Structure 1
Amino acid sequence: MLYDLTLGSLTAVTKTSFQAEKVLERTHLQAAIRDNIGVLGEDLLVIAEEFGDFEATHRRIDLLCVDKSARLVVVELKRTEDGGHMELQALRYAAMISVMTFDDLVKTFAAQLTKTEGAPIDSDDARARLIEWLDDVDEEPVVPRQVAIVLASADFSQEVTTTVLWLNEFYEMDIRCVRLSPYNLDGRLLLDVQHVIPLPEAAELTVKLKKREAAVKKAAESSKNFTKFVITTPTEQSAPLPKRHAMLRMIQAVRDAGVTCDQIASVLPGSKFRAVEGPLAEGELLWDAMVGQLGLKSDQDGRWHLHAPFPDGDTIWVLHSNWGTRTQEFLDALSNLASGTVRAEAQSQ
């Protein structure tokens, strides 16, 4: 709520609507925002109004902007109280302009300058102005494929805000929502501009959290163990194998050395080397038996070496394909079962 404090007391200023004030979306609201684009963001430069340089569609972007990093920004305006489906419309526009090059930007900006200044502006002049406005860019900047979006409306429905928050959080998009609230004060039309997503006070924290999440993700990826192992038997030496194939090859080798499946099971985790009653062939029938006898989830067949089972009488043993940081420990234990005649040597990547 907006109040008038002129006379020392609070007097409520009447909230109104664009429709009641006969404010048209394109003629009035869009023109005012275009000429004062800073209310939506200090880092925005309008390069086109009613941009519609698309193939096979007549749709138009209300305002097409560029930020200081040469990233395109779609600005979608609505004078409605719920925002309609503006977020979906803006996403379509963002996808369609994501292929624009810097030359495309220059051409578009030159046309906009010609329109607003009332005199022809050539590409060289537009290029120079654009590069001067951008922050620390080369003579031929690269336009990122990622496109930012600004939604400006009299208000937003929960459908719109929920969608925007979800896209920003899980798909690392940059979508801002700006509420434009009109008020009537003694016949004067006032406009209250509020950035609601992200909240200004939370914007810096949001950036820090995203950077932290990116750092954690990078650390997790770098900590993954990509060690490979060479399996050596009395007759051959394998190529460097990833963990899942190294464990399978090791068990095949110790079995050839006379080690029983029961002995192998004694040095491995109970969940990694399982037995079912056979006789069964490899593949689908074997997996059906594992699901039925061991209670495994039916969609986890990809986690097992079903193509290379280990028959032991009427019992069929199957090896799990996922192994963690203790792989070397288990390989050494298997080697000991074979009295060292089979060895596993790690090959760091």
Structure 2
Amino acid sequence: MFQIDRSANRLRKLERTSFSEVGFREREHLQEWLATMPDALCEAMSEGEDGLLIIQKEFDGFDGTRERLDLLALDRNGQLVVIENKLDDSGRDVVWQALKYAAYCSSLKKAEIVGIFQQYLDRHGAGDAASTICEFLGEDTLDQVVLNDGTDQRILFIAANFRREVTATVLWLRDHQIDARCIKVVPYKFGEEMFVDIQQVIPTPEAADYMIRMAEKDSEEKNAKGAQRWSHQMRMEFWEQALQALRGAGLERWQNITPSKDHWVNSSIGVSGCTLTLIFLRHEIRVEFQLNRADREENKWLFDQLAEDKGRYEDAMEESLEWRRMDDKKVSMVVSKTPVQGYSKENWDEMIAWLVKHYQKMDKAFSEPVRALASRMKPGGSN
């Protein structure tokens, strides 16, 4: 890893070190970093922002054993993710340990998972586990949520170095459709500064893309046989009708968008990371102007510029808007919403008309100002 010296137009090599050499420990440091910033793992796995929700540390709730896993998480599909951390060397037994933990966790029911997460929240501040899980998965109520379905638990191995017996076993597991991954975490130092490089090494990014495409193909075939969840099918039907209405209104941005099983669809406004997003939930529909550029500070700067003149934008929209800066996240957004009975199909015509109308109003109010702001924005979010 190198640092760019702009003044000298040179590269300066950072010194690779080890966690033990600089005094870092597995539980006190590495585990805590990942627990408080799971986005670091998501970036390494190319899973986007907030792709993991940490629900427990040092979990030992296994009947008949005193063993404990390092971190337990949920992914966006509601599957449990077992995360095993090692510092400078993976050791020989880490795969065996993680497989035991995954087997133990495979029997956890929804109520048990919610209870485990609530214990974690109670120890580390506050919050309601059920509502946090619903928000993370994009569902309205917990009864719509499927957690820990089947035997698709995932395993992440974290270490600075992986022994050959570990990498060989992980590759074998992946060949047998077990989602196991190795993520290398390597410390560097430059003077008094410390850096950490986090990279997924198994599977490589190219192999991961191929596997995702194969998984999508398999999912498509299963969906054709009627295996989609009921809520997913409902969303597909709704978006098909909504997209027809958007195209019928002459909105060219939607010409190449296809219906989705997700609760959202979006279109770009011509600025990287800035989208107009439509949200379909059981009890609410929304139009969101999302600022989700790669640089968090750019999003906050764009939001602040818009918020300074919020009265003018709300006058243009003819309604009060929700201004969500969300300082704890990378994304910021402005939201227009209305309550609905979304899963009653007789309401869909009215709901879709509302989405089309408010999409057009938000596009007219915000898109051109954001394009103008982005054109004069420097790296780091300042003008």
Place the TM-score, normalised by the shorter chain, in its bin: 0.5 to 0.7
Q: Which residue of structure 2 lines up, in the alignment, with residue 166 of structure 1? A: 172
Note if 1:112 corresponds to 2:134. Answer: no
Q: Deviations over 1:259-297 (max 9, x none)?
A: xxxxxxxxxxxxxxxxxxxxxxxxxxxxxxxxxxxxxxx
SS in 2 for 1:208: helix
Shift, 1:159, TM fit: 1.0
Q: Which residue of structure 1 lines up, in the alignment, with residue 93 of structure 2? A: 85
Note if 1:47 corresponds to 2:55. Answer: yes
User: Which structure has the bigger radius of gyration?
Assistant: 1
Q: Which residue of structure 2 lines up, in the alignment, with residue 101 of structure 1? A: 109
- Which of the residues 115, 126, 130 maps onto 1:127? 130
Aligned length: 212
Instruction: Measure, in 1, the Cα distance between the counterparts of 2:19 and 2:210.
Output: 34
- Higher relative contact order, chain-length normalized (CA < 8 Å, sep 6+): 1
Q: Deviations over 1:153-184 (max 9, x none)?
A: 11111111111111111x20111111000011
Shift, 1:138, TM fit: 6.0
Shift, 1:88, TM fit: 1.4
Q: Which residue of structure 1 lines up, in the alignment, with residue 13 of structure 2? A: 12
Letter in 2 for 1:158: R
Q: Which residue of structure 1 lines up, in the alignment, with residue 64 of structure 2? A: 56
Note if 1:155 corresponds to 2:161. Answer: yes
8 Å CA contact 1:106, 1:126 repeated in 2: yes
Instruction: Measure, in 2, the Cα distance between the counterparts of 1:65 and 1:19.
Output: 26
Q: Deviations over 1:236-258 (max 9, x none)?
A: xxxxxxxxxxxxxxxxxxxxxxx
Instruction: Measure, in 1, the Cα distance between the counterparts of 2:121 and 2:73.
Output: 13
Shift, 1:82, TM fit: 3.9
Shift, 1:9, TM fit: 1.3
1:258-277 counterparts in 2 under 5 A? Answer: none
Letter in 1 for 2:119: A
Shift, 1:189, TM fit: 1.4
Note if 1:139 corresponds to 2:142. Answer: yes
Shift, 1:216, TM fit: 9.7
SS in 1 for 2:171: helix
Instruction: Measure, in 2, the Cα distance between the counterparts of 1:9 and 1:71.
Output: 46
Letter in 2 for 1:3: F
Instruction: Measure, in 2, the Cα distance between the counterparts of 1:83 and 1:191.
Output: 20
Shift, 1:136, TM fit: 4.5
Letter in 2 for 1:80: D
Instruction: Measure, in 1, the Cα distance between the counterparts of 2:214 and 2:31.
Output: 34
Unaligned runs of 5+ in 1: 218-349
Instruction: Measure, in 1, the Cα distance between the counterparts of 2:106 and 2:24.
Output: 32
Instruction: Measure, in 1, the Cα distance between the counterparts of 2:116 and 2:218.
Output: 37
Q: Which residue of structure 1 lines up, in the alignment, with residue 229 of structure 2? A: none
Instruction: Measure, in 2, the Cα distance between the counterparts of 1:72 and 1:158.
Output: 26
Instruction: Measure, in 2, the Cα distance between the counterparts of 1:69 and 1:33.
Output: 20
Instruction: Measure, in 1, the Cα distance between the counterparts of 2:58 and 2:200.
Output: 23
Instruction: Measure, in 2, the Cα distance between the counterparts of 1:132 and 1:142.
Output: 13
Q: Which residue of structure 2 lines up, in the alignment, with residue 183 of structure 1? A: 188
Note if 1:37 corresponds to 2:31. Answer: no
| TM-score relative to the length of structure 2 | 0.52
| TM-score relative to the length of structure 1 | 0.57
8 Å CA contact 1:83, 1:154 repeated in 2: no
Shift, 1:83, TM fit: 4.1
Q: Which residue of structure 2 lines up, in the alignment, with residue 305 of structure 1? A: none
SS in 2 for 1:192: strand
Instruction: Measure, in 1, the Cα distance between the counterparts of 2:196 and 2:89.
Output: 14
Give aligned-pair identity as a percent: 33
Shift, 1:187, TM fit: 1.7
Letter in 2 for 1:23: F
SS in 1 for 2:155: strand
- Which of the residues 185, 194, 200 maps onto 1:195? 200
Shift, 1:128, TM fit: 1.4
Instruction: Measure, in 2, the Cα distance between the counterparts of 1:213 and 1:166.
Output: 20
Compute the RMSD of aligned alpha carbons: 2.4
Instruction: Measure, in 1, the Cα distance between the counterparts of 2:61 and 2:202.
Output: 29
Instruction: Measure, in 2, the Cα distance between the counterparts of 1:136 and 1:54.
Output: 29
Q: Which residue of structure 1 lines up, in the alignment, with residue 352 of structure 2? A: none
8 Å CA contact 2:3, 2:11 repeated in 1: yes
Change in 2 beyond 3 A, CA 1:197/1:137: farther
SS in 2 for 1:155: coil
Q: Which residue of structure 1 lines up, in the alignment, with residue 73 of structure 2? A: 65
SS in 2 for 1:150: strand
Instruction: Measure, in 2, the Cα distance between the counterparts of 1:66 and 1:213.
Output: 22
8 Å CA contact 1:69, 1:135 repeated in 2: no
